[in-house]
Amino acid sequence: MSTKHRLDKAYNTAKIIPFDDDSKFILFSDCHRGDNSFADDFAHNRDVYVNALTHYLEAGFSYCELGDGDELWETQKFDAIFQAHKDVYLLLKKFHDAKRLHMIWGNHDMVYKNPTYVKKNLSTYFDKETRGKVDLFPGIEYHESIRLEHKTTKQILFLTHGHQADWWNYIFWRWSRFLVRFLWKPLNLMGVSDPTSPAKNHKGLIKIEQRAKKWISENNNTFTITGHTHRPRFPQPGNIPFFNDGSCVHPRSITGLEIEKGTISLIKWHVSTNKEGILQITKTILEGPVNLNAYQ
C-alpha cells in the first residue's frame, strides 16, 4: 500500500464539515497526553494548553485535534491518562457538549480507529466521589481525516494526521508501539532518542514531507493540513499548500493553526515574562493571517 493509496483513501472517506467566513477553528495535534510520568512530554506544557483552550472555548472556536492527542504507545490504558489530566478532558468535554469537538486519530492513538474501543473508553469515566459512571464524550467519533468545505467558494481544506506518508508508523504501528513501550521509553532515561519518531529523525521527517507534497501536487494542489512531524509549516501563496500545525510538546510552547474570518494563521502559545518580571502565558502570531482563497 503506497502513500498515494493511503492518502487517497483518507481523502475519500473523510468526514465533511461545512464552514464559511464566520466559522472559527483552532487546530492542534501531537499533544501526546500521557500519565504524568517522566515520559509525559505533554505535562510540561499543560498549563499553556489549558490556557489556550479556555480562550478558544470562550471565543466560540471549534477544536480540531489532528491525531496523537493521547499517548497510547507509552501508556497502555486511557484511564491512566485521564486521571493524570482530568481537568484537560473536562475542558474538552465542554467543546464536545457544544458540538465543537472534531477528533482525528494518529499513529500514537490509532486504537481510536476502532469505534468499540472509543465507546468503551471515552464515553464515560468513573467518578470517585459519586462512585458511579459520569458522561465524558458520549457519542464521540474519531476519524482518519476531515474535509472542511467552504459553503460559498467550495474550497476544500483536507485535515489528517500525516502518518499516511510514513509507512513504518502506519502499516507497522503495532510493532512501533511495542518498541516504544518496552524499549525506547526506558532508554529515554539515558538520553536515547526514539528512531521511530519523525520528530526526532530529521532524514525521516524530510522524506515524509516530500511524499506528502508529491501527493498534494498530483491532486490539484489540495490544501492539506497535517501534524505528525511536529515541524510547523506555513507556505506562502503560490507554493504547494502543505501546512503543519506543529505540536503541543515543543519546549515551553505549543503551536497550532487558527482559521477565522476566512483566513489562516500559524500561532504559538508560550510562557513569557512581562516588564515586572511576572511570568505570563502569551499568544504570538508566527505567520499570517493569509486569506484562504489565496491558495485556490
Taking alpha carbons only, the member of 118, 97, 100 closest to residue 109 is 118
Per-residue confidence band for 1, with pLDDT thresholds at 50, 70 and 90: low
- Any idea which of 65-69, 90-94, 173-177 has the lowest mean pLDDT? 173-177
Residues forming beta bridges with residue 265, ordered by sequence position = 258
* Percent residues over pLDDT 70 in the chain: 91
Q: What does the pLDDT read at residue 130?
A: 80
Per residue in 249-276, pLDDT (tens digit) is 998 899 999 999 999 999 999 998 888 8
Q: What is the mean pLDDT of the chain?
A: 91
Most confident region among 84-88, 162-166, 170-174 by mean pLDDT = 84-88
Q: What does the pLDDT read at residue 132?
A: 85
DSSP collapsed to 3 states, 77-123: CHHHHHHHCHHHHHHHHHHHHCCCEEEECCCCCHHHHCHHHHHHHHC
Q: Which helix (H) or strand (E) holds 5?
A: helix 3-12
* Structure-model confidence comparison of residues 130 and 81, the more confident one: 81
Q: What is the three-class DSSP state of 251?
A: coil
Per residue in 107-160, pLDDT (tens digit) is 999 999 999 999 999 999 988 778 889 999 999 999 999 999 999 999 999 999
Whether 172 has a pLDDT exceeding 70, the answer reads: no
Q: What does the pLDDT read at residue 175?
A: 72
Q: What does the pLDDT read at residue 200?
A: 60
Per-residue confidence band for 294, with pLDDT thresholds at 50, 70 and 90: very high
Whether 18 has a pLDDT exceeding 60, the answer reads: yes
> For the residues of 149-195, what is the DSSP string, one character each?
EETTT--EEEEE-SGGG-HHHHHTHHHHHHHIIIIIHHHHTTT---T
Q: What does the pLDDT read at residue 107?
A: 94
Per-residue confidence band for 242, with pLDDT thresholds at 50, 70 and 90: very high
Which CATH number do you get for residue 8?
3.60.21
- Contact assessment for residue 112 and residue 144, using Cβ atoms and an 8 Å cutoff: no
Domain count, the chain: 1
The range of the structural domain enclosing residue 94 comes to: 3-295
- Evaluate if pTM is beyond 0.75: yes
Which amino acid is it at 148?
A: L
Per residue in 27-39, pLDDT (tens digit) is 999 999 999 988 8
CB neighbourhood size of 2 (10 A): 12
Adjacency order of strands within the sheet including 156-160: 15-19, 145-150, 156-160, 223-226, 242-244
Q: What is the three-class DSSP state of 12?
A: helix
